[in-house]
Structure 1
Amino acid sequence: MPQELAKTFDPAAIEAKWYLHWEESGAFRPHRPDAEPFTIVNPPPNVTGSLHIGHALDNTLQDVMVRYERLRGRDALWVVGTDHAGIATQMVVEREMALHQDKRTNYSREEFVARVWEWKAESGGTITRQLRRLGCSMDWSREQFTMDPHFSRAVTKVFVDLYNAGLIYRAKRLVNWDPALKTAISDLEVETHEVAGHFWHFRYPLADGARTAEGADHLVVATTRPETMLADMAVAVHPSDMRYAGVVGKEIDQPLTGRRLSVVADDHADPELGSGVVKITPGHDFNDFEVGKRVGIDPAQMLNMFDAEARVVQTADGLVPDEFLGLDRFEARERVVAAMKAAGALIPHRDKDGAEHDAEPRTIQQPFGDRGGVPIEPWLTDQWYVDAEKLAGAPLEAVRDGRIEIVPKAWEKTFYNWMENIQPWCISRQLWWGHRIPAWFAEDGQIFVAETEDDALLQAADAHGVGTGDLEVYNNPRGAILGQLLPNGKKIIWRDEDVLDTWFSSALWPFATLGWPENTDLLAKHYPNSLLISGFDILFFWDARMAMMGMHLMGEVPWRRLYLHGLVRAADGAKMSKSKGNVVDPLGLIDRYGADALRFFMCAMESQGRDVKMDERRVEGYRNFATKLWNAARFASAHGIAASQSIAAPPATLAVNRWIIGEVVETAAALDKAFAELRFDAAANAIYHFVWDRFCDWYLELIKGQIDDETRGVAGWVLDQILVMLHPFMPFVTEELWHAAGERPYDLILAHWPAPEAGVDAAAKAEIDWLIALIGNTRAARTELGIAPGARLAAYVSSASALGPSMIEANRSAIERLARLSPIAFAEAPAGAAMQIGAGDDRFVVPLEGVIDVAAERARLAKALEASRKEAKALEARLANPAFLERAKPDAVEKARSDHAHHSAEAARVEAALARLG
């Protein structure tokens, strides 16, 4: 028998209860060994993280698909875990230490890493607890961490295998160096901001009496970074620039360092920009680095003038004046400008009023580290690289031939462009927390890459023709006196101090989480994964790298489909940020409206990769939707409508029951189509309108007062199908109502997706659609003309359709109860004012004499129509004005469009009402 439900739906009262039950009962684990697998892996959130609104979107979409496929009978596995987040986690722990006047360097590496593990044990589970609150049905029994022992072994093996295959190498190249964090970061972790900067112009004197074609004894260079001239190695002009053809190959004397620089010809110099002369500092500028290589400067010979904190150090040639040594880069900038000015080498800038200034103001694009928050310094250093170009070929082919489907398809072009122009991937980071690079160095420069220290010693011994007992692993290479024996007479090797980029380890997520490199049953069944759902913003951070690693190491794509969703933005379309104060806390929304409402909002608003605009009113609206369902279940319980005992549709003779069964069939088909196409908005829309419009607003209204045994059976079955179809979106309220409806042999999470074994009854559909049209149109007409909802109105049908009389006869009581039309006569209506109502091919004429003041109503409507048309016309003119569209804020334009649509619709509604009056 059904349980009595509380009068008010309270999400908080049921969410914790059901989640704990599901997890403890093992409902999230794959448990169908003979079924087709469905596998999805979550983008592992940082172990430092808390649930933000982007996580809420990403994980809701994943959970919807997992619950849907589980209901369809597939062996569903959702892999869950967290990322060790090298930079972020080390920052968090160091900040905590700083609060106690402590710092990392007070400890050995091993001691600090132990502190991080302690922090993880105490504080690293915040986001996983929050994912549970969202309702994510992840397999927590297999929860992963990217520094778990088995995962670390996989990471080490991959590094060694790729190194041995020539796909990982060590090289001296420019990197994005974060002086705050003192580590290299990737291009993808650099944020470029517009900042107020300057353009300085300097004279570089030509050496040995050389002159330009115009007779100048110097070249004029312009730069936004004067401090880097301390490491200049050349000056470039364009090969076609005839002003400087005669000085190519000549030399200049750099005014501060006295360094002789060659004048080289290179396309990088733009003849149209400034003087057409560019200073080349290959150790501190990415473009200059490439120019330097083209003109024959080996990276090993390129000059470096900064230390890890971006303070000036002596270059290899010893020509940096002592006065600059030790200065911060921005202090050095001021001192360099002052020194060049004192030397007469600064060319002042004249503003529009003729006043002189040291530099020309310019807005420049400044790269910043996304975590360190300080300007990035291009820095020449030895790092480890993956030959990404070679690994990119297989994923490119897989997308082209359809083995990987990218949804939305529009992202394919972006994927191709990035992969076809991919650069070497710098994978070393100068941190203590992370996977330490498995490479050991010898004093003669040899490198030994091995999975264990013992293997490295064997390699080193073999390379040097000694026994392993003659070698020792030294843990303090910076303190070693290279070239000398240790006190015990042994030679040393030492391990690389760097760790791997976090994205290197997470690139192994689709297979290392399944037990690789062991050939586990789980790996055999669940790789490749079925689907990856990801924000488009990590397409290259993570998705592309998983594709590269998966195809190289597994010989197969990591997943069959890749769905890229958009970002969640503020209501006005702005990007959310703490500085703007427009960040929305998903946990706060769950507290106010329930997880089900937030989840449904995310799905309803997710339209194939478009950004989602946050709208709390709609979240509230979906809580009201859950309440509507709750009240429908209470109605069912009160009328003896209980849990169905059948998956197939029960027998039905009444038109209303045959009709609602057909509606279930159509809704289930619409959902299957939407899920197959990954149209979350279409799926949410389909179930929403079926539940609210067809079932609650019409079916339950139509059966009131005539609920017989057949209707109880059909209504119970339909309510069951609703709970199953709605469960992926709203798991908590549906599970509660599932059990409240009566005894069940299994939980809803493990139920069966609808299989009605029925079709759409065309006759029943035509009859009920006709009835709904009559009732709905009558109600609308009453509202438009201000007629009281309960007023009983006579109606006349002068020329009925073939369907009309039988429809009226079969549904007379429903028409009288819901439309308040009685009596209905098949005759001409009396003369006088009347309104007309349509239902199918039938037209009902309803006399209005004595019902309303027709003249007053016509005048009121005419006045309202004029006002709506006037507003709509004014807004139409504003929207047609290009100046308004270009200059107005986006939210103002959006409001104008919304207001125009509202007034246009209102005008159409009033016109219809006037037409009804005849």
Structure 2
Amino acid sequence: MTIDKTFDPAAIEAHWYAHWENTGLFRPERGEAEPFTIVIPPPNVTGSLHIGHALDNTLQDILVRHARLQGKDSLWVVGTDHAGIATQMVVERNLAKEGVTRAELGRDAFIDKVWEWKAESGGQITRQLRRLGASCDWANERFTMDEGFSKAVVKVFVELYKQRLLYRDKRLVNWDPHFRTAISDLEVETKERNGHFWHLAYPLADGSGTISVATTRPETMLADMAVAVNPEDERYTALIGQQIRLPITGRLIPIVADEHADPELGSGAVKITPGHDFNDFEVGRRAGFKPAEMLNMLDADAKVVQTADGLIPADLIGLDRFEARARIVALLEQQGVLEKVEDRVIQTPYGDRSGAVIEPWLTDQWYVDAATLAKPALEAVRSGDIRVVPETWKKTWYNWLENIQPWCVSRQLWWGHRIPVWYGPKIREGAADLSDINWMIEDQPFVCLDDDDLHVQLAAYYGEDKKFVFVSDEEEYLERDEAVSGNARLREQTKNEVAIFQDTDVLDTWFSSALWPFATLGWPEQSETLKRHYPNDVLISGFDILFFWDARMAMQGLHFMGERPWKTLYLHGLVRDAQGAKMSKSKGNTVDPLGLIDQYGADALRFTLAAMESQGRDIKLDEKRVEGYRNFATKLWNAARFAQSNGIAGSTTLEPPPATQAVNRWIIAETVKTIQALDLALVDLRFDESANTIYQFVWSQFCDWYLELTKPILQGEDQAAADETRAVAGWVLDQILVLLHPFMPFITEELWHAVATRDHDLIVAKWPMADARAIDPAASAEIEWLIRLVQEVRAARAELNVPPSAKLTLHVSGASAETNGRLDRQQATLSRLARLEAIQPTAFEGTGAAQVVVDEATFALPLEGVIDLAAERARLAKGADAAEKEAASLSGRLNNPAFVEKAKPEAVAKAREDHAAKSAEAERLRAALARLG
């Protein structure tokens, strides 16, 4: 196949990806080979490819393609997450366009609509991953709501419940009033907002005075249950234990001692609303309030409801929390207890999808005993059983897991894994073991694997003679119970019936995704795939989900599989814009990876991300870098065209061909060294070092030097030397294509087939072996000497403005016998590359010559009559003076603490870069001036 003059990424990408996938090459049959396994962090089924996905999946693909080339049984598990709240929101919006609400449809019909949407639109991100080149096992794609995975989720829930590691409890959660559900910390965005600080004077119940408190949420005072002071604060020692009469409601609340109150902040006294503040909840528990006793003044819509004591005035009931705030402030002012109001910037939590202000809300939810599950995960990292890269993240791992709180796993949604718990009336007599209030709600729960298990449990509890009536939810259950209780005829008709309802909540999507490393492999069935590919080898993850996903996978994997889920956890940084700012739509600085692929090709984007990934450090993505690596791909393309036009084809052997020419023995040695360096870098997960290693070899050693050095041989009359060179060049080009394939799969596969007729595709070729016996130190030293000498001569010519057409005489002095021998052997090549007319083995005695030193020898290039020496000296001196002046000015700014401390970080960084550039320029110009003598 003749290689086209123009490199067109789009055409080759579409062709080769379809070919690989359709021929099953992403998962070739290698049942006896060493397994290698990666699981993809499952993207949301609603998602589209963003630059973070591009980085994450590029790094994974590099590793899995590399393992595949090594002959391993490489499995990259792919799938998507059902994304409960995000998917439900998308489908509800679509229904709203039709004038239909979720409530009008009903639960079952709504879920049917979600599945319809998933079938039609839920595959966008997987199609986009294909454009990136992700070589996943698409034939076995998973979904967190598919039948097999759902079976695993239910199994885990039931087992944790039986082990008393999963229970129902009343605690505070992040409540989103828009979606009417609890959400995770990851779904909360904290933003600064202009607000106020209200100072209130709470009267002591005995009328002896007041105590001052301050709050940013005055409406919550309706549910205050205490005022806390620090036990060491002498101002309040005598007041501890006394009562306060709460304004508006008149409720009596105690003054309690708690170290949460900071004597240095405000008055040192803090109002405590345990039902509506996370810190207050803990203070309330320490003060002896049980969660069931804590007052709740808001409903699921964040509107005021009556508290248990019935003391909230009727005209406040039903008000939105912010409407209530204005009304309550007015009432406090009327009662004379509002001391002052301060303007304050408030850190306010928002739902990342709804945009609603999040409310800490006291509610019954399902929790996992995360502290117990965390212990083996802590030990796995401490002992080195799980390798964390970079190791700096170990500290965060320890900190999070040592201080972990109960994990709220229930969500008040319809889309998701419905909690496998059914409720019926509790039989209290003779059932003391079933009435443990810490583990049961008032109704009798039945936690079941499936329908069969449910009916077995119901029959065992209520008796075989009972008929079970399944109602939709607790509301219908209570309505039925009330109707039966008030009607004797109905009581008689239904005396053998037991009404049962299923918990209406679903599980947090992080609960199901925590099972990803083993549930995707067939668990709870003990499949051969599970046995071969668990534990996984590597997990590639962004550091931002270290707690929400990575740690939970470790907890669940160790608990249910008895073994770590992966051997290595690699945490990468964020992709930022070129100035280092975090990308956001509001800033308008987001980067569309698909747009970059359209413009520069997937290979260029992939190589950019790999080259800039430096073990956890954030990436400053500059489009110019992507353009530069597109140029790199073009250079390789043109090198292959040159090879093809000179009769160079692919190699027929894995071993390097025999070579006598120094330049051929040198390039073979350089290839082996590159393989060695690349192997070490990939083992250490040094993606930037890996990419830079292959880049430098291809661009510099192969394209810039080897092909240039071999042109005279290929075009000369020594046929044996030319044939040898073609064989070596073909072998080196093959090694390049294999080594570069994990980073740039498309162009390498295209060239693999273009330069030779192959009996297999590059994606399943063999990774090169680094055979140190192929390294010839003498040949390497000679060619490296030649390259250094040519570089020095070219640099001198460029610095001194010597016309490219001018051929110079090179004088040599102080040369050793070895250098003289090299000059004899390489005279023709040196003359051609350095544009020399002659080489004289004598010192130059005159002036006005450029001087270069390589090893022990000094080389002089007389320039009299070639350039205007006086004008050149003046130009160099003027340029050096200007550069030194600018460098000194920048140095003064950088040495000024006021500038470094007050200027924007990007301005300081720019000044440092400019200083380094000007200093280097001055040094280069002074050196050039010195060359002229």
TM-score (norm 2): 0.95
- The question of whether the paired residues in 1 share the 8 Å contact of 2:177 and 2:302 is answered with yes
Residue 868 of structure 2 is matched in structure 1 by: 853
Aligned residue for 2:615, secondary structure, equals coil
Matched to 1:234, the amino acid is A
Rounded to whole Å, the distance in 1 between the matches of 2:920 and 2:117 is 59
Q: Give the counterpart of 1:148 among 137, 146, 149.
A: 146
Matched to 2:668, the amino acid is I
Aligned residue for 1:724, secondary structure, equals helix
Matched to 1:104, the amino acid is R
Query: How big is each residue's C-alpha offset from its partner over 1:375-397, in whole Å with a ceiling of 9 and x where there is no partner?
Result: 11010000000000000010111
Q: Give the counterpart of 1:257 among 245, 249, 258.
A: 249
Rounded to whole Å, the distance in 2 between the matches of 1:243 and 1:848 is 90
Matched to 1:152, the amino acid is S
TM-score (norm 1): 0.97
Query: How big is each residue's C-alpha offset from its partner over 1:731-781, in whole Å with a ceiling of 9 and x where there is no partner?
Result: 000000000011111100000111254432110011101110111111111
Rounded to whole Å, the distance in 2 between the matches of 1:99 and 1:898 is 53
Rounded to whole Å, the distance in 2 between the matches of 1:721 and 1:585 is 33
Rounded to whole Å, the distance in 1 between the matches of 2:245 and 2:20 is 76
Residue 863 of structure 1 is matched in structure 2 by: 878
Q: Give the counterpart of 1:765 among 780, 784, 795.
A: 780
Matched to 1:904, the amino acid is S
**Cα distance, 1:705 vs. partner?**
2.4
Residue 915 of structure 1 is matched in structure 2 by: 930
Instruction: Give the alignment of 1:748-897 within 5 angstroms.
Output: 748-755=762-769, 757=771, 758-897=773-912
Aligned residue for 2:688, secondary structure, equals helix
Runs of 5+ in structure 1 lacking a partner? 212-216, 350-358
Rounded to whole Å, the distance in 2 between the matches of 1:456 and 1:259 is 46
Residue 546 of structure 2 is matched in structure 1 by: 539
Q: Give the counterpart of 2:280 among 282, 285, 288.
A: 288
Rounded to whole Å, the distance in 2 between the matches of 1:832 and 1:109 is 94
Q: Give the counterpart of 2:734 among 687, 706, 720.
A: 720
Query: How big is each residue's C-alpha offset from its partner over 1:647-693, in whole Å with a ceiling of 9 and x where there is no partner?
Result: 01110000000000000000001101100111000000000000000
Rounded to whole Å, the distance in 2 between the matches of 1:870 and 1:190 is 51
Residue 13 of structure 2 is matched in structure 1 by: 15
Instruction: Give the alignment of 1:245-324 within 5 angstroms.
Output: 245-324=237-316
Instruction: Give the alignment of 1:243-642 within 5 angstroms.
Output: 243-347=235-339, 349=340, 359-444=341-426, 445-464=443-462, 466-467=463-464, 469-480=466-477, 481=479, 482=481, 484=484, 488-489=494-495, 490-642=497-649
- The question of whether the paired residues in 2 share the 8 Å contact of 1:779 and 1:789 is answered with no
Q: Give the counterpart of 2:67 among 52, 65, 69.
A: 69
Moved more, 225-234 or 382-391: 225-234
**Cα distance, 1:290 vs. partner?**
1.0
Query: How big is each residue's C-alpha offset from its partner over 1:242-279, in whole Å with a ceiling of 9 and x where there is no partner?
Result: 33333322222212111111222222222222222222
Rounded to whole Å, the distance in 2 between the matches of 1:583 and 1:714 is 46
Matched to 2:760, the amino acid is Y
Rounded to whole Å, the distance in 2 between the matches of 1:634 and 1:454 is 68
- The question of whether the paired residues in 1 share the 8 Å contact of 2:473 and 2:504 is answered with no
Query: How big is each residue's C-alpha offset from its partner over 1:53-106, in whole Å with a ceiling of 9 and x where there is no partner?
Result: 000000000001111111111111000000000011001111111222221111
Query: How big is each residue's C-alpha offset from its partner over 1:793-831, in whole Å with a ceiling of 9 and x where there is no partner?
Result: 011112211222211111111111111123111112242
- The question of whether the paired residues in 2 share the 8 Å contact of 1:648 and 1:756 is answered with no
- The question of whether the paired residues in 1 share the 8 Å contact of 2:811 and 2:841 is answered with yes
**Cα distance, 1:203 vs. partner?**
2.1
Aligned residue for 2:391, secondary structure, equals coil
Matched to 1:160, the amino acid is V
Rounded to whole Å, the distance in 1 between the matches of 2:769 and 2:382 is 36
**Cα distance, 1:30 vs. partner?**
4.6
**Cα distance, 1:230 vs. partner?**
1.0
- The question of whether the paired residues in 1 share the 8 Å contact of 2:813 and 2:857 is answered with no
- The question of whether the paired residues in 1 share the 8 Å contact of 2:473 and 2:503 is answered with no
**Cα distance, 1:618 vs. partner?**
0.8
- The question of whether the paired residues in 1 share the 8 Å contact of 2:377 and 2:554 is answered with yes
Rounded to whole Å, the distance in 1 between the matches of 2:911 and 2:817 is 47
Moved more, 789-798 or 52-61: 789-798
Distance 1:268 1:514, change over 3 A: same
Matched to 2:294, the amino acid is M
Matched to 1:565, the amino acid is H
Q: Indicate whether 1:669 and 2:676 are aligned.
A: yes
Q: Give the counterpart of 1:223 among 215, 227, 231.
A: 215
- The question of whether the paired residues in 1 share the 8 Å contact of 2:542 and 2:572 is answered with yes
Q: Give the counterpart of 1:124 among 116, 122, 125.
A: 122
Runs of 5+ in structure 2 lacking a partner? 427-442, 715-721
Aligned residue for 1:203, secondary structure, equals strand
Query: How big is each residue's C-alpha offset from its partner over 1:845-885, in whole Å with a ceiling of 9 and x where there is no partner?
Result: 11111111111100110000000101111111111212111
**Cα distance, 1:468 vs. partner?**
6.2
Residue 48 of structure 1 is matched in structure 2 by: 46
Aligned residue for 1:531, secondary structure, equals strand
Could you say what the CA RMSD is over the residues aligned between the two structures, in angstroms? 1.3
Rounded to whole Å, the distance in 1 between the matches of 2:280 and 2:156 is 34
Residue 354 of structure 1 is matched in structure 2 by: none
Rounded to whole Å, the distance in 1 between the matches of 2:257 and 2:391 is 43
Residue 664 of structure 2 is matched in structure 1 by: 657
- The question of whether the paired residues in 2 share the 8 Å contact of 1:647 and 1:756 is answered with no
Rounded to whole Å, the distance in 1 between the matches of 2:709 and 2:263 is 81
Residue 214 of structure 1 is matched in structure 2 by: none
| Structure 1 segments (4+ residues) deviating >6 Å | none
Residue 700 of structure 1 is matched in structure 2 by: 707
Rounded to whole Å, the distance in 1 between the matches of 2:265 and 2:846 is 85
**Cα distance, 1:905 vs. partner?**
1.1
Aligned residue for 2:624, secondary structure, equals helix
Moved more, 238-247 or 586-595: 238-247
Residue 686 of structure 2 is matched in structure 1 by: 679
Moved more, 240-249 or 365-374: 240-249
Aligned residue for 1:197, secondary structure, equals strand
**Cα distance, 1:530 vs. partner?**
0.3
Rounded to whole Å, the distance in 1 between the matches of 2:197 and 2:706 is 73
Distance 1:706 1:917, change over 3 A: same
Matched to 1:477, the amino acid is E
Matched to 2:470, the amino acid is V
Rounded to whole Å, the distance in 1 between the matches of 2:918 and 2:247 is 71
Residue 95 of structure 2 is matched in structure 1 by: 97
- The question of whether the paired residues in 2 share the 8 Å contact of 1:830 and 1:847 is answered with no
- The question of whether the paired residues in 2 share the 8 Å contact of 1:773 and 1:840 is answered with no
Moved more, 359-368 or 579-588: 359-368
Rounded to whole Å, the distance in 2 between the matches of 1:641 and 1:272 is 79
